[in-house]
Amino acid sequence: MSTTDVLLIGAGPAGLACAATILAHSDLSVVVLDAGHGPGGQYWRQPAPAAGPNALVPGELADLHHDQTTFAELLQEVQRGRAEGRLELRSEQHVWSLVPVGDGYAAHTVDRAGGPSRTAGSTTRARAVLVATGAYDRALPFPGWDLPGVMTVGGLQALLKAGGVAAGRRVAIGGTGPFLLPVAAGLARRGSTVVGVYEANRPTLWLREARAVARNPAKLGEGAGYAGTLIRHRVPVRTGRMIVAAHGTDRVEAVTVARLDRAGRPVVGSEHRLAVDAVGVGWGFTPQLDLAVTLGVDRRPDVAGTEVVAVDDLQRTSRPGVYAAGEVCGVGGAALAVAEGTLAGAAIVADLGRGAAPESLVRQGRRSVDRLRGFADAILRAHPVPAGWADRLEPQTVVCRCEEVSYAAVRAAIDERGAGDARQVKQLTRTGMGWCQGRVCGYAAGLLTCGAPGPAVERLVSAPVPLGALADAAAGSDD
């Protein structure tokens, strides 16, 4: 077991910004734990060490990463902290449990470098903890979505960034939200033919968001950059369209795309079929709340009804000594995560009485959070899941891939056995009981039962752990 003043869980933009602030404005010791193979999180994801013979070298990935200057500055601060012996960055350490102990908290981890057998476990105790565990891709089922070659857009992006791998030669992109554009642009630049980007919503929804857009002109510039790339590569971007089916025998060979009416329902007779060898579909992101929920911190619904961690204006949660920043406080992108991480760092330094961040830094952080949170809320309002997303599901469409539960079984649980929420569907059908513990199918189960995402699920053990790691944790707790 090791002890430190401050424990940061997650080395993405939020965690790194928090670390840099603490190092710059206090003498506190910091441990950063991250499940990935290096710092950066999703946004600054680095190539995997064993990315394979076709992997691109890091320089060739530069166009996939934005705001490298901020990343370099944060890393420099982290390196300085390491050199001074004040910061430890431990990669490939997955925190599976975070519990209160004495006047602080204990994080139990498994060593991911150990591969699937993962035998080594360890415990870190700290007086203050930041939960900056980010988010994961949000998927919705459709006929054929379980064919090899059909992925989430985040999955396509992760393959590009971590391995330099373009998932296919002819790729269709669908779903909703601005994230579809960088993924399509990245693939097009890597030589894939992107047969189309099918955005379910119409741009007119953005007319109501003029204020948020006017306050964030840089976002317009970013969007224009992606649009330029897509035009240069002749990638068609179609709005009010949805991928309603994927077809193939051993893997995906084609998709069917349908037009949506004003109510968001696929229009009969509007379908057309396109040959593809890969598909990416994304309906936004779900905050990774496992550790926060188990600790019992207060949550609140975001503007789309998804639960996020509730924080005060310095990222303090309802539990003394527990702070949260980044996507766990509401999905909003890397710049917002950096601003929130900075504020959390300032709060930790002040609350532990070991220094003070300048007032100007805090004021600037608050202004950035307000402005960027406004834009994030606008995205959620302008990119809802269309009302008719489930209209084309077939009885045999798989809803829960881990437990192979069909749409017919889920419907029967709702219509015949009265299941009123995702939890009851789970009890009646095993939807969400498999390896992913509902991270993939839970959102769909919530929408199908009550038309809303449903509450974040409590997972006492947030990742599969071997018995050896449980024993290590028990020993660590007794120390």
Residues that bind ligand FAD (CB under 6 A): 9-15, 33-36, 41-43, 94-95, 132-137, 154, 157-158, 182, 285, 288, 291, 326-327, 333-334, 337, 462
- Residue with smaller CB distance to ligand FAD, 5 or 290: 290
- Residue with smaller CB distance to ligand FAD, 33 or 309: 33
- Residue with smaller CB distance to ligand FAD, 327 or 403: 327
Give least dist CB 96 to ligand FAD, A.
7
- Residue with smaller CB distance to ligand FAD, 334 or 393: 334
- Residue with smaller CB distance to ligand FAD, 326 or 446: 326
- Residue with smaller CB distance to ligand FAD, 95 or 349: 95
CA neighbor of 150 nearest in space, from 234, 245, 52: 245
Give least dist CB 462 to ligand FAD, A.
6
- Residue with smaller CB distance to ligand FAD, 96 or 389: 96
Give least dist CB 130 to ligand FAD, A.
10
CA neighbor of 81 nearest in space, from 47, 122, 39: 39
- Residue with smaller CB distance to ligand FAD, 1 or 274: 1
The DSSP-derived string for 154-172 is: HHHHHIIIII---S-SEEE
Give least dist CB 417 to ligand FAD, A.
34
Give least dist CB 203 to ligand FAD, A.
20
How far is Cα 379 from Cα 383, in angstroms, rounded to an integer?
Answer: 6
- Residue with smaller CB distance to ligand FAD, 201 or 288: 288
Give least dist CB 463 to ligand FAD, A.
6
Give least dist CB 48 to ligand FAD, A.
13
- Residue with smaller CB distance to ligand FAD, 2 or 204: 2
Q: How many residues does the chain have?
A: 479
Q: Which single residue is written with the structure tokens 């569907």?
A: 425
Range list of H helices, 241-299: 290-295
Range list of H helices, 123-270: 153-158, 180-189, 210-215, 217-232
Structure tokens at 219: 């976002």
How far is Cα 421 from Cα 403, in angstroms, rounded to an integer?
Answer: 18
Region of 28 (left: φ > 0; alpha: ψ -120 to 50; beta: rest) is beta
Helices and strands, number each (H, E), in the chain:
13, 21
Give least dist CB 131 to ligand FAD, A.
9
- Residue with smaller CB distance to ligand FAD, 94 or 127: 94
Q: Are 166 and 183 in contact (CB under 8 A)?
A: no
Complete edge-to-edge strand list for the sheet that includes strand 193-199? 150-152, 278-282, 170-175, 193-199, 237-239
How far is Cα 136 from Cα 12, in angstroms, rounded to an integer?
Answer: 13
Q: What are phi and psi of 428, to 5 degrees?
A: -85, -25
How far is Cα 224 from Cα 210, in angstroms, rounded to an integer?
Answer: 16
Give least dist CB 16 to ligand FAD, A.
8
Q: Within 10 A of 149 (CB to CB), how many other CB atoms are there?
A: 19
Structure tokens at 329: 């406080």
Give least dist CB 112 to ligand FAD, A.
9
Give least dist CB 64 to ligand FAD, A.
7
User: Identity (one letter) of the amino acid at 404?
Assistant: E
Structure tokens at 72: 């370099």
Structure tokens at 430: 């095993």
Q: Are 438 and 401 in contact (CB under 8 A)?
A: no
